[in-house]
Amino acid sequence: MRFLHFTFLLHLKPISITRLSLAHQSQPAASFTFLLNLFVCFLLLRTSVPLTLTHFLCFGLRWSVAEALPLASFSFLSASSGSPFLFFAFKFSVQFSPVRYSTGMVGLSPGEKHFIQGGIAQDIRSDGRKRLTYRPINVETGVIPQANGSARIRMGATDVISTVKAELGKPISLQPDKGKVSIYVDCSPTAAPMFEGRGGEELSTELSVALQRSLLGGKSGAGAGIDLSSLVVVEGKICWDLYIDCLVVCSDGNLLDALGAAIKAALSNTGIPRVQVAAGASGDEQPEVDISDEEFLQFDTSDIPVIVTLTKVGRHYIVDATTEEESQMSSAISISVNRKGHICGLTKRGGAGLDPSIVLDMISVAKHVSEQLINKLDSEIAAAEAGEDES
């Protein structure tokens, strides 16, 4: 890997980090500054090591380095103040490697950014949708035969798979009358370049925690969209442990909503084996159980919520944002809403704060949008189940 060493002279006048552009100026002061920079650059070149490229910054000259290029060896060199012009010299190395874009750092030109923001302001998004319209949703169920239930959801180019595996376990002592549910998300390195290395691990953890909060309620189980008491076989002794594993196959924005929909579809496809408990066990003895291979109980998904993420771009907010739209957001709120219109969970991301009145308005919009999303998912899941039965 080749390294190029850059030496910059930075004028104390505030310099905006934008494209490289030299303003044409005729003022004597600007010309003098330009010549003085050249002279100092010449002196630095006389003392610099080989393969050193010297640049200068004066009035109107602006420089930017691509965000995706990693910086290293940043060191302070010198400062001189013996003239009306005060300069600082910095030296650092730039390692040139393939540029990688993440779902949060999309390389867009100023024109593309303006096009996205302007379209949202006029309620005409870049793909023709309105602000509160989802992309086409496609549902497949039973995609993993080895699992108790599975589903694949495509929202536009975003593609995720969810599987449910049921195993017998023991309830925790604080909740002897409830089963257990665990949610794990894996971001495939092929889904997006940012998922390679620790980027994928960090996002997987964030998504897993957000899904736990949205679908499973608090630590006590209050507000959970999944009825944990229905997973108990023998109170305090035997319960079903559900392991929900999600895989992000392709990412083009709105991952949390897609994962929530995939989990709902996978649970609707889940069959829990019927269990017969042998009589005779008493006290602390663990009862014997017989798990049926032929009889299954269909999992009740009527109260499982959907997740609606409202992404704020400018003054407006949109649903089902693409990766490019997410790159222009100031903040986003993911709201978990069930069929009755009850709020089951709420997650915020993004650095910008939101006024409480705006949050309440976003919750109201999410309730309205969730009705359409639930109806759409129900029809798609029913069609997928019918197609699975025919095959």
In this predicted model, what pLDDT tens digit does every residue of 122-142 receive, in sequence order? 999 999 999 999 999 999 999
196 phi, psi to nearest 5 deg = -75, 140
Q: Is there a single domain that holds both residue 13 and residue 127?
A: no
Which of 67, 95, 123 corresponds to the end of one domain? 95
Instruction: Compute CA distances 189 → 16, 250, 257, whole Å.
Output: 35, 9, 20
How high is the mean pLDDT of the chain?
74
Q: Is residue 296 part of a domain?
A: yes
Q: Is there a single domain that holds both residue 300 and residue 332?
A: yes
Q: Is there a single domain that holds both residue 67 and residue 208?
A: no
Q: Is residue 195 part of a domain?
A: yes
Q: Is there a single domain that holds both residue 75 and residue 199?
A: no
Q: Is residue 281 part of a domain?
A: no
Q: Is there a single domain that holds both residue 321 and residue 213?
A: yes
Mean pLDDT of 72-78: 31
Cβ atoms of residues 186 and 282 within 8 Å: no
Q: Residue 225 is part of a domain; what is its CATH number?
A: 3.30.230.70
Which of 95, 130, 153 corresponds to the end of one domain? 95
pLDDT at 20 over 70: no
Q: Is residue 306 part of a domain?
A: yes
The pLDDT, as a whole number, for residue 159 is 96
Q: Is residue 282 part of a domain?
A: no
Q: Is residue 104 part of a domain?
A: no
Q: Is residue 201 part of a domain?
A: yes
Q: Is there a single domain that holds both residue 260 and residue 122?
A: yes
Q: Is there a single domain that holds both residue 318 and residue 172?
A: yes
pLDDT band (50, 70, 90) for residue 76: very low
Structure token pair of residue 155: 């929202």
Q: Which of 66-75, 221-230, 287-296, 377-386 has the highest mean pLDDT?
A: 377-386
Q: Which residues contact 100 (CB under 8 A, 6 or more apart)?
A: 68, 193, 194, 196
Q: Is there a single domain that holds both residue 88 and residue 120?
A: no
Q: Is there a single domain that holds both residue 23 and residue 154?
A: no
pLDDT per residue over 38-57, tens digit each? Answer: 565 555 445 443 333 333 33
The pLDDT, as a whole number, for residue 220 is 58
Letter string b/e over residues 133-144, b meaning 16 or more CB atoms within 10 A of that residue's CB: ebbebebbbbbb
| Domain tally, the chain | 2
| DSSP label at residue 258 | H
Q: How far apart (Å, rounded) are the C-alpha atoms in residues 259 and 162?
A: 7
Q: How far apart (Å, rounded) are the C-alpha atoms in residues 352 and 127?
A: 26
Give percent above pLDDT 70 in the chain. 68
Domain ranges, residue 91? 3-95
Q: Is there a single domain that holds both residue 140 and residue 239?
A: yes
Q: Is residue 330 part of a domain?
A: yes
In this predicted structure, which of 65-69, 251-255, 260-264, 364-368 has the lowest mean pLDDT? 65-69
Q: Is there a single domain that holds both residue 138 and residue 62?
A: no
Q: Is there a single domain that holds both residue 208 and residue 126?
A: yes
Which of 68, 95, 122 corresponds to the end of one domain? 95
pLDDT at 151 over 60: yes
Q: Which residues contact 282 (CB under 8 A, 6 or more apart)?
A: none
Closest CA to 6 of 76, 45, 53: 53
pLDDT at 14 over 50: no
pLDDT per residue over 327-353, tens digit each? Answer: 999 999 999 999 999 888 888 887 777
The pLDDT, as a whole number, for residue 81 is 35
